[in-house]
Amino acid sequence: MKIDVIGDIHGCLEELHDLFYTLGYQKETNIFIHPEGRIPVFLGDITDRGPKSIEVIKLVCEMVLQRKKAKYVPGNHCNKLYRYFLGNRVQQKHGLETTVVEYKTLAQSEQEIVKQQFMRLYESAPLYLEIPEVNAIVAHAGIKESFIGRTDKKVKSFVLYGDVSGKFDEDGRPIRGDWAKYYQGARWIVYGHTPVLEPRLVKKTINIDTGCVFGKDLTAFRLPEEQIVSVPSKQPFLEEKFTHFE
């Protein structure tokens, strides 16, 4: 099996289309198919902030659930949207508000379909994916080596929100631990969640959230080729949203 892991989309549907075409996929009855049978893996945070979250939900659901031509793991934004659809009281900020506005413009019957589809996608998704064929693990915010194989609360929080301490810097951004620096494993860990200007490669870990929704790129990581493919964003560039690692 050959895979193309796709970074945080955040409603950037046009850039996702561009990326699929750049990767050699073809559009076939609403979805994208690779002529050599490559499998796209969406690594979470498919909605919020960007212009077309609902369309991205529909495409991902069709590819993953109906046609079984792609895989998906959830991100923290997916978790929050799921809790919104459950009827939980969640704060409509940090991007969820844009998805809710889009959702509310849909006809009632259409809302019901989108909600059911997304909830099914979320409920049927693993917390993270182990893909032995390409010696890789795909987890939204990454995963510590000792967590691999576990799905308890601590691991769930780590793969969704990352290596956070609960402390914040002066700009109100969470202070994050740098788990990748300590990773010693032989398997690839492919993740996103923290926007970086260029894919960040540390040992056998790679962060491919190149901040498409903040105006940089949408990035894929191909395995087993270990190849990075990016397309430029069409969104306004917001430099302050990017994290700079040492």
- String of DSSP letters for 26-45: EEETTEEE-TT--EEEE-S-
Closest approach, Cβ 213 to Mn ion, in A, equals 11
Q: Which of 12, 32, 70, 76 binds Mn ion (CB under 5 A)?
A: 76
- Complex with Mn ion: residue 45 or 217, whichever CB lies closer: 45
CA distance 174 to 168: 4
Taking CB under 5 A as the rule, which mask of x and - marks residues 157-196 in contact with Mn ion?
------------------------------------x---
52 CA to centre of own chain: 15
Closest approach, Cβ 30 to Mn ion, in A, equals 26
The site for Mn ion, by CB under 5 A, has a size of 4
Closest approach, Cβ 75 to Mn ion, in A, equals 4
Helix axes 96-104 and 53-61, enclosed angle (nearest 10): 80
45 forms part of the interface with Mn ion (CB under 5 A): yes
- DSSP secondary-structure letter at 180? G
75 forms part of the interface with Mn ion (CB under 5 A): yes
Closest approach, Cβ 47 to Mn ion, in A, equals 11
State the residue for tokens 């993740």.
Answer: 191
| Angle (CA) 38 39 41, round 5° | 145
Q: Which amino acid is at 194?
A: T
Closest approach, Cβ 45 to Mn ion, in A, equals 4
- Complex with Mn ion: residue 49 or 204, whichever CB lies closer: 49
- Please state, in angstroms and as integers, the Cα–Cα distance from residue 182 to each residue in 145, 190, 230, following that order: 9, 15, 27
Segment near Mn ion (CB under 5 A); pick from 44-52, 78-86, 90-98, 124-132: 44-52
Residues interacting with Mn ion, by CB under 5 A?
A: 45, 75-76, 193
